[in-house]
Structure 1
Amino acid sequence: MADTAMGEVFKLRCELAGHEQDVRGVASCEDGRLVSCSRDTTVRTWTPTGSTTFESAVLMGHEHFVSCVAVMPPSPSLPSGAILSGGNDRTISGQCVVAPVVNVWVEGNLAASLKGHTLTVCGLSSDKAGRVYSASWDKTAMVWDLSSMSSVGKLEGHEQAVWSVLPLEDGGLVTASADKTCKLWRDGKCVHTYVGHTDCVRSLALFPGVGFVSCGNDGSVRLWAVSGECLLAKQISDNFLYCVAVLPTMEVAASGEDKTCKIVRDGDVVATLQHPGSVWSVACTPEGDIVTGCADGVTRVFTRDAGRAADAEAVQVYEARLASQTTSSQQIGGVDLATLPGEEALLEAGKKDGATIIIKKGGKAHVYSWNAGEHKWDALGTVADGPGEGGGGGKTLFN
């Protein structure tokens, strides 16, 4: 990946609360607005009113939980662009953007409901020509023309659910599936199958000038040339990775079940952004900020720009949420309090960013993660007996 000198470490910019359940998808608009969707059946737009403040508007149009969102740039068919959302009510809701007026979203005006999939719509993307691409648990991807608001193609060939769909720079289309493969499509036909992942492939992102990036349940991030060569394979987690995005710096952001969003540069994890719950989705803004959607119902924005960083009070609230989370001992294979080191263990630096340690303090087992950017241990919470929520699916969470 690109050898680019980076600036400051990522710091919290803001926490956007409003959804009542998990934030399953996030997206970024060119004009600075953000979009999020949730299990609570709503889509929200977030319009910046300051460097760390946003105003929210709710879009109603789904009957059940919303699993994905995407932003379509302006096109001949929709000069103002569109926001797209998909869910398990088996329709895609297209909301026309009348920028910069946000009250159109408050009124919930629907431009179209595109019907055709038979199971949950779990992935969306679009191109500058005005076409929309959808991925579904029904093992297909569909192509939609918004000038006619109709389907113009269905891609069939995967053996399991199609989780993600991505248009390429050269006009091709890539799909990612639970059958552990990615497929390249041209003119509606599969012309290549990318093999390498050992579990469900969950997300795709364009890597300009090279090809695309994928991540999946095997905990790996892979960089592919369109021709088929795997240029990089990096195991960055022992848990599922749910979403991947590429920053303007050509770094890769990958989020997952281990409650983090990791930043990968040249194959190395250079930063780990901690969250109170599983991180279902990640997106990047044109300025290089990172937007995440978390299982705790909060959309978060992280930035390298000190001028947009959250104030001390907001950071304190964020850190308190991290510290108050409870981690199940089942997730880490059980903990013997008597064998744990004391607080003196925190005087030694971690071996790598995101490395974890469990110490004994106040009669409890406390989990910390090494923050290489700020050279300090961040508190993640305490270890409790019994099963927990948002865990590692039977895998080891801390190591």
Structure 2
Amino acid sequence: MDIDFKEYQLRCQLRGHEDDARGICICGNAGIATSSRDRTVRFWTLDESQKHDYTMSKMLLGHTSFVGPLSWIPPNEEFPQGGIVSGGMDTLILVWNLATGEKVQMLKGHKLQVTGIALDGSDIISVSVDCTLRRWRGGQQLEAWEAHNAAIQAIIKLPSGELVTGSSDMTLKLWKGKSCIHTFLGHTDTVRGLAVMPNLGIVSASHDGSIRLWAISGELLMEMVGHTSIVYSVDAHASGLIVSGSEDCSAKIWKDGVCVQSIEHPGCVWDAKFLENGDIVTACSDGVVRVWTLDHDKIADAVELDLFASLLSQYKISRKRVGGLKLEDLPGLDALKTPGTSDGQTKVVREGDNGVAYAWNMREQKWDKYLTSTLEMVSLYGNCRITDQKGMLVFDSAQFDGILRKISEFNNTLLSDAEKKCSSLNEGDMSRLSAIVKILKDTSHYHSSRFSDVDIALMMKLLKTWPVPLLFPVIDVMRMIVTHPDGVAKLLQYVKNEDDIVSELIKKVTASSPLPANLFTSIRVVTNLFKNSFFHEWLLAHRGEILDAFSSCCSSSNKNVQISYATLLLNYSVLLIEKKDEEGQSQVLSAALEMAEEDTIDSDSRFRALVAIGSLMLEGLVRRVALDFDVVNIAKAAKASKDAKIAEVAADIELVAKQN
């Protein structure tokens, strides 16, 4: 069927984001808001001197991780120049006043990444990977419910007032209030994007590579197939055109179910939206937002067009590389005929258009595709030793003399303060503390020694009564006590009631302006509890509380905090895999991904976060959630690391992501 169609051409490029441009929001006739992995929202206004171009007028800073969905608040009494609502990986929803560029509301409630935002009058509706839909009014949560049994990826409001959600459970749901009045079935993978098709119905985009048009009644009207990878976004225009953005580095324009144009990009197209005049805005993983037009008078000048063509050409060449190597330079399968020299040695070979990693299996004297549990790599590269067969890591070395000196110093500080003197230790207490440390220093690997009840009671007293700024050496002693079988057994009685000493400690050290020393020592106490199986029930019961309390550690600049938090996530991943706890695995996965995308953190910390991700994906329960969380691009970025162990585990994650 021949379709009359004039092709879109580049109008302008909006440069400013320092990482992937992720989301787009059309703000009236003269504004565009964009979100990015660089943690910013940027507002672009039509350039009055050059009507075809846009200039950045506001940069909105407030999210602590990458920003995704956006929604536009039209000008009103509260927001005379309009407002923006943004959602992020940090689980927050922020409301911005465009007149001032200031954040005016922070909405907290979601447990995992916010993936979609819609406005219903003055109410804000949000959805998340935590499977919930929440309604907010006046800065407060009005209602919340579990809308799907898997991560929710998108939400739109229909002109008639109903809401539509799309989910990793492969369905769309139509909502009237809190009642689901229809479930749309047909997609074979995650429903990632939604749009209203004017005067007709709903358009959906999916990881299955298709775009589907539905009647509100639920009837499938049309299926559009043409993308070769995940379709992340879709939008529709009153003219009848549909645009979609995909992992295959293209934005495709559809008319009457036929792809009439494919616009190549130098990276993944995360989002695509129509302006009211029919022009298209795309957000690309190269950080650039582009506007495309049918109007010949608005087409970019020759210099800009040549610049884009050159960029696109360079990108195509770069895609023929694997791990920084030209694909043509990789050895072929014949290279696998040469035996390896050590167990676990890796080799990347060319298989068709891909580079595939293999590991040498010393016992069977053969090369295996590199899909073994990445936990094994910790024993090769990590600073903490693996202490049992489940791969739990502990922090089990200490400078005891230094710890005692610091406690003595702090005790003298208390003695010299009339108001705090009552919290100080007397000579008998100091002697007992020295005896506790002696047990920890001198006990053999088999721990034949015992602590008295008085010993543990003294430690509990210190944890409860000492001022927070002086606590960290006491917490450090506690860290070592929980590695001792008798010590951890006696601690158990202090966590089995409402007066839970460990929960109390976590709340205390994570209060406002927490000290890094308190954070990493307390995280290490919890991390060391994983060594003892009779504490696993407690760790599972308090998982949400613990991970929420320490969530800010992901962005800490302190290396000790980073490595402690990453190890906590790794231990939780092992335990939750064993227990087949999908909800818990999703929470750990979200935290580990947030940490792994930080290329400025300590390399060992990033490595452990990646190991946690790989292990969770390999187990399978949250593999699809990981793909929804953009794990492929996080792995690609990590694979470029100069640290070999990070690059290798990132390559493993890419391989796991490709498995059916």
The separation in 2 between residues aligned to 1:55 and 1:329, in whole angstroms, is 35
Q: Secondary structure at the match of 2:319?
A: strand
Residue correspondence of structure 1 range 287-302 to structure 2 within 5 A: 287-302=277-292
Deviation at 1:149, TM superposition (A): 2.0
The separation in 2 between residues aligned to 1:153 and 1:81, in whole angstroms, is 25
The separation in 2 between residues aligned to 1:296 and 1:166, in whole angstroms, is 27
The separation in 2 between residues aligned to 1:298 and 1:277, in whole angstroms, is 10
Does the Cα contact within 8 Å between 2:240 and 2:256 map onto a contact in 1? Answer: no
Kindly provide the amino acid, as one letter, of the partner of residue 124 in structure 1.
I
Question: Which residue matches 1:68?
Answer: 69
Deviation at 1:176, TM superposition (A): 0.2
Q: 2:46 aligns with which of 45, 48, 57?
A: 48
The separation in 2 between residues aligned to 1:212 and 1:91, in whole angstroms, is 28
Higher relative contact order (CA 8 A, sep 6+): 1
Residue correspondence of structure 1 range 1-399 to structure 2 within 5 A: 6=5, 8-49=6-47, 50-56=50-56, 57-74=58-75, 80-98=81-99, 104-105=100-101, 109-127=102-120, 129-145=121-137, 148-325=138-315, 326-328=318-320, 394=658
Deviation at 1:384, TM superposition (A): 9.0
Does the Cα contact within 8 Å between 1:329 and 1:384 map onto a contact in 2? Answer: no
Q: 1:149/1:335 Cα in 2 relative to 1: closer, same or farther (>3 Å)?
A: closer
Kindly provide the amino acid, as one letter, of the partner of residue 111 in structure 2.
T
Deviation at 1:188, TM superposition (A): 1.1
The separation in 2 between residues aligned to 1:206 and 1:4, in whole angstroms, is 23
The separation in 2 between residues aligned to 1:162 and 1:293, in whole angstroms, is 21
The separation in 2 between residues aligned to 1:114 and 1:294, in whole angstroms, is 28
Q: Secondary structure at the match of 2:112?
A: coil
Deviation at 1:75, TM superposition (A): 5.6
Q: Secondary structure at the match of 1:111?
A: strand
Kindly provide the amino acid, as one letter, of the partner of residue 69 in structure 1.
L
The separation in 2 between residues aligned to 1:35 and 1:43, in whole angstroms, is 7
Q: 1:92/1:12 Cα in 2 relative to 1: closer, same or farther (>3 Å)?
A: same
The separation in 1 between residues aligned to 2:29 and 2:247, in whole angstroms, is 30
Q: What is the TM-score of this pair, normalised by structure 2?
A: 0.48
The separation in 2 between residues aligned to 1:196 and 1:222, in whole angstroms, is 9
- The superposition leaves residues 83-140 of structure 1 with CA deviations (integer Å, 9 ceiling, x where unpaired) of 1111012111111233xxxxx22xxx1121111111110111224x222221211011
RMSD: 2.7
Kindly provide the amino acid, as one letter, of the partner of residue 272 in structure 2.
V
Please list every run of 5 or more consecutive structure 2 residues that lacks an aligned counterpart in the other structure.
330-352, 358-632, 638-653
Deviation at 1:385, TM superposition (A): 6.4
Deviation at 1:36, TM superposition (A): 0.6
Q: Secondary structure at the match of 1:218?
A: coil
Of residues 43-52 and 197-206 in structure 1, the stretch that sits farther from structure 2 once superposed is 43-52
Q: 1:336/1:81 Cα in 2 relative to 1: closer, same or farther (>3 Å)?
A: closer
Q: 1:155/1:136 Cα in 2 relative to 1: closer, same or farther (>3 Å)?
A: same
Of residues 52-61 and 384-393 in structure 1, the stretch that sits farther from structure 2 once superposed is 384-393
Q: 1:198/1:329 Cα in 2 relative to 1: closer, same or farther (>3 Å)?
A: farther
The separation in 2 between residues aligned to 1:171 and 1:53, in whole angstroms, is 34
Q: 1 or 2, which has the higher strand percentage? A: 1
Q: What is the TM-score of this pair, normalised by structure 1?
A: 0.78
- The superposition leaves residues 292-329 of structure 1 with CA deviations (integer Å, 9 ceiling, x where unpaired) of 11111111110111111100000000011100012237
Q: 1:329/1:302 Cα in 2 relative to 1: closer, same or farther (>3 Å)?
A: same
Greater Rg over alpha carbons, structure = 2
Kindly provide the amino acid, as one letter, of the partner of residue 68 in structure 2.
S
Of residues 226-235 and 153-162 in structure 1, the stretch that sits farther from structure 2 once superposed is 153-162
Please list every run of 5 or more consecutive structure 1 residues that lacks an aligned counterpart in the other structure.
99-103, 338-382
The separation in 2 between residues aligned to 1:4 and 1:173, in whole angstroms, is 33
The separation in 2 between residues aligned to 1:162 and 1:75, in whole angstroms, is 30
- How many pairs were matched up? 334
Q: 1 or 2, which has the higher helix percentage? A: 2
